[in-house]
Amino acid sequence: MWRVGLVFGAVACFLSLAGLVEALHARWVVDGVLSAGQVLVLAVFVASGWTAAERSGWTPAGRLGAGVGSGATTGFCVGLLVWLAAHVNLRTMFINASPALFALLSGGRPPGEAWVGAVLAGGALGLVGALGQVAPSGLIRPVLVGLGAAVGLGLFQDLILLILQPEGFAPVRDWLFVAGGGPTARGAAVLFVISAVLAAVHPALRARPTRVLRLSPRVRRVFWSLVGIALLAALPLAGGPFVAQVLVIVGLYTLMGLGLNLEVGLAGLLDLGFVAFFAIGAYTVGLLTSTGEHGIAHWSFWAAVPVAVLVSLIAGVILGIPVLGIRGDYLAIATLGFGEIVRLLVLSDALRPWLGGSQGVLAIPKPVLAGFELSGPQHLYYLTVVASAVVAYVAWRLQDSRLGRAWMAIREDEDVAEALGINLVSVKLLAYGLGAAFAGVGGAIFAVMVGSVFPHSFQLLISIQVLALIIVGGMGSIPGVIVGSVVLIGLPELLREFGEFRFLVYGAALVAMMLLRPEGLLPAAVQRRELHVLEEQAEPALVAGRDAAAEGGS
């Protein structure tokens, strides 16, 4: 239990010194009472107690003791940090070790007193965590959900206020928020209660499906898909242009994710240069439609999209041919190289007369549909949704087609697949080509969304984000791609003001995800089976041995 306490102590000190606590301190969860920064520190203490209680296999009383001990240890670490800061100038090394931070951690008390206080408070909070571990889960879940909702209200207050802007919402707004400040105590409390109650009754509802109308499954499915469509269509109307803009970005990543999913999720071909195809799609549309100096054709967007898709597809095949025989990590680095080559070429001064170099391709007109210009994010949102739906449909049909089966076969074992008569070359090239084509669609929409294309928009970071989102969502699963891009792209966009810590949390989330749910949030059935088989299975080395045998036999 001391070890758990020390680990969490280190975590608390790290979060403080990295500036996260202080940054969140600027956000009220309850105006004037509790800030998000304080919530974060408290959460670390509670988690410390919770984990210690979980790990000690003792009696309930013993568990509570473990929680207290662990929490107190964590408190000791934080107290030590406060005490150190009072005697040594930590700021020469740690830029965020500001007086404000230590004022927050020590509650404004002198260091010695604060240290004792931190140990005591830590013990108490550890006890709370341990109680949570001991108490029946039916009680704990609602409380957690309620707390999550209340903290969410504080974190997303900007967005909520943006949605509540119209004068009609004024009463709700004033009830929930202090003018020009954070959530009111009553707002947070009511939200807590409502979500906790909902979470409490939710299992009961699930257990007894109240079917008002006995409908055939088919009609039900139609009904639900209509509800889904209505929700999708209503989202930007409710959320306004900013929410629509974020959704457009989520949609673009979904398109790319669907494409990469064919390569990685189905065919098992790792690709870290995927942004290249996105860039090719964007540049194709830019060059074909731009009214500026680099425009070559002044086509309409609709005429340029098929060309962009075709160019991306060809690019995918061309990039695919040289790496046909390369596997695994080598493939990762080779494709990463491709992505960088494309970015450097569009940026280069050598190609500047044609591609605009670092100044990019400008003046890309918005698409016009039936005489109406799709200008704002709210219009582009519908374009993106339609494009994503079409691409998702194509991807879904591909998955169950002969080709999809062939991809899965080469993912499992190339040699066996070949022995079964699958033409490796054409199957692989199709995976690269079709994946690239999907990304090309995304690039095309991106070009009209921004209205200009700059090489700097196509960093390696994007390839990595796309790979991460299909992994987090669940490899080889189409709904997984959508969930992944909402979680990894949408949420950080909505929390833009913490931009500095975006990738910190992002990195931690990737690692945590892989440790806790390696199959992803919404895994495909095959993947789920595979991963659980793997847990019992011996080392891949044995499989490799089997391969060698197979090869010898072929």
Partner 1 sequence: MTEGVGSLAAGALRRPALRRLNFVDAFLWAFRLAVILVVVWGTVGTLRLGRYTGEQWVDFVVFGLAQGGIYALIALGYTMVYGILRMINFAHGEVFMSGAYTAYFAAAPLAASGFLNQHPILSLLLLMAVAAAVSTGVAVLVERVAYRPLRRAPRLVPLITAIGASFFLQYAFRGLYGSGFKAYPEFELFKGEWQVLGVGILRTQAVVLVGAAVLMSALYQFVMRTKVGKAMRAVSEDKDVAALMGIDVDRIIVLTFAIGGAAAGAAGVLYALVFKQVHFFMGFVPGIKAFTAAVLGGIGNIPGAMLGGLFLGVVESVGPALFLDGLGIVAPYQLKDVIAFTMLVMVLIFRPQGILGERLAAKRA
Partner 2 sequence: MFPARLSRTLLLVSVLAFVLGSGSLVAPAAPVRVGPVTDEWGVVRVARGQPIVIAYWLVVAGPDASLGIDSRRGIELAIDDKKTVAGHPIRLIGEDSGCNAEGGTTAATKLAANRQIVAAIGSSCSSEAVPGAPILCKAGIVTVSPSNTAPRLTDPKRGPEYACYLRTAHNDLVQGRAAAQFAYHVLGVRRAATIHDGSPYAEGLANVFADVFKRLGGTITSQEAISPTDTDMRPVLTRIAAGRPQLLYYPIFIAAGGHITRQAKEVAGLENVKLMSADGTFSPDFWKAAGEAARGMYHSSPDLSVEALGPKYQQFLEKHQRKYGEKPLSAFHAHAYDAAMMIFAAIEKVARKDAQGNTYIGRKALRDALFATRNFPGITGTLTCNPYGDCADPKIAVYQTISADPAKWNPGVDPKKVWSMKR
Amino acid at 123: G
242 forms part of the interface with partner 2 (CB under 8 A): yes
Out of 468, 481, 483, 489, the only residue in the binding site for partner 1 (CB under 8 A) is 468
Choices 264-272, 369-377, 467-475, 524-532; region in contact with partner 2 by CB under 8 A:
369-377
159 forms part of the interface with partner 1 (CB under 8 A): no
Are 431 and 261 in contact by the 8 Å Cβ rule? The answer is: no
Which one of partner 2, partner 1, none is in contact with 464 (Cβ closer than 5 to 8 A by kind)? Answer: partner 1
358 forms part of the interface with partner 2 (CB under 8 A): yes
CB of 301 to partner 2, least distance (A): 14
Distance between first and last Cα of the chain: 56
Q: Torsion-angle region of residue 211: left (phi > 0), alpha (psi -120 to 50) or beta?
A: beta
- SS3 for 370? coil
Which one of partner 2, partner 1, none is in contact with 496 (Cβ closer than 5 to 8 A by kind)? Answer: partner 2
Of 501, 500, 499, 505, the closest CA to residue 487 belongs to 505
User: How many residues are present in the chain?
Assistant: 554
The DSSP-derived string for 329-349 is HHHHHHHHHHHHHHHHHHH-S
Which one of partner 2, partner 1, none is in contact with 323 (Cβ closer than 5 to 8 A by kind)? Answer: partner 1
363 forms part of the interface with partner 1 (CB under 8 A): no
Q: Looking only at residues 15 through 34 of this chain, which bind partner 1 when binding is defined by CB under 8 A?
A: 17-20
14 forms part of the interface with partner 1 (CB under 8 A): yes
What are the structure tokens assigned to 131, written together?
Answer: 């109680």
When the beta carbons of 204 and 516 are compared against partner 1, the nearer one is 516
Which one of partner 1, partner 2, none is in contact with 389 (Cβ closer than 5 to 8 A by kind)? Answer: partner 2
Choices 24-32, 37-45, 250-258, 463-471; region in contact with partner 1 by CB under 8 A:
463-471
Which residue's entry shows tokens 């169950």? 400
Choices 8-16, 325-333, 410-418, 450-458; region in contact with partner 2 by CB under 8 A:
450-458
Out of 116, 201, 310, 389, the only residue in the binding site for partner 2 (CB under 8 A) is 389
Handedness of CA 189, 194, 200, 203 (dihedral sign): negative
CA angle 348, 349, 351 (to 5 degrees): 75
Alpha carbons 148 and 482: distance in angstroms, whole number? 23
509 forms part of the interface with partner 1 (CB under 8 A): yes
Q: Looking only at residues 245 through 264 of this chain, which bind partner 2 when binding is defined by CB under 8 A?
A: 245-246, 249
- SS3 for 369? strand
Distance of CA 401 to the CA centre of its chain: 29
Out of 218, 516, 525, 539, the only residue in the binding site for partner 2 (CB under 8 A) is 218
Contacts of 536 (CB under 8 A, 6+ apart): none
When the beta carbons of 219 and 508 are compared against partner 1, the nearer one is 508
CB of 190 to partner 2, least distance (A): 25
359 forms part of the interface with partner 1 (CB under 8 A): no
Q: Looking only at residues 316 through 335 of this chain, which bind partner 1 when binding is defined by CB under 8 A?
A: 321-330, 332-334
238 forms part of the interface with partner 2 (CB under 8 A): no
Alpha carbons 475 and 407: distance in angstroms, whole number? 13
When the beta carbons of 430 and 449 are compared against partner 2, the nearer one is 449
Pairing of strands 34-35, 372-373: unpaired
Q: What contacts 24+ positions apart, CB below 8 Å, involve 34-39?
A: 36/151, 36/154, 36/155, 37/104, 38/104, 39/151, 39/154
Out of 375, 510, 514, 518, the only residue in the binding site for partner 2 (CB under 8 A) is 375
Number of shown-chain residues binding partner 2 (CB under 8 A): 63
Contacts of 211 (CB under 8 A, 6+ apart): none
490, containing H or E segment: none
157-168 burial: b if 16+ Cβ within 10 Å, else e: bebbeebbeeee
Which one of partner 1, partner 2, none is in contact with 63 (Cβ closer than 5 to 8 A by kind)? Answer: none
Q: Looking only at residues 42 through 61 of this chain, which bind partner 1 when binding is defined by CB under 8 A?
A: none
Q: Looking only at residues 259 through 298 of this chain, which bind partner 1 when binding is defined by CB under 8 A?
A: 264, 268, 270
Interface map 406-445 toward partner 1 (x if CB under 8 A): -----xxx----x----xxxx-------------------
What are the structure tokens assigned to 540, written together?
Answer: 């891949």
Are 466 and 478 in contact by the 8 Å Cβ rule? The answer is: no
Q: Contact positions toward partner 2, by CB under 8 A?
A: 162, 165, 179-180, 217-218, 221-222, 225-226, 229-230, 232-233, 237, 240-242, 245-246, 249, 344, 347-349, 357-360, 362-363, 369-370, 372, 374-379, 382-383, 385-386, 389, 393, 400, 446, 449-457, 493, 496-497, 499-500, 502
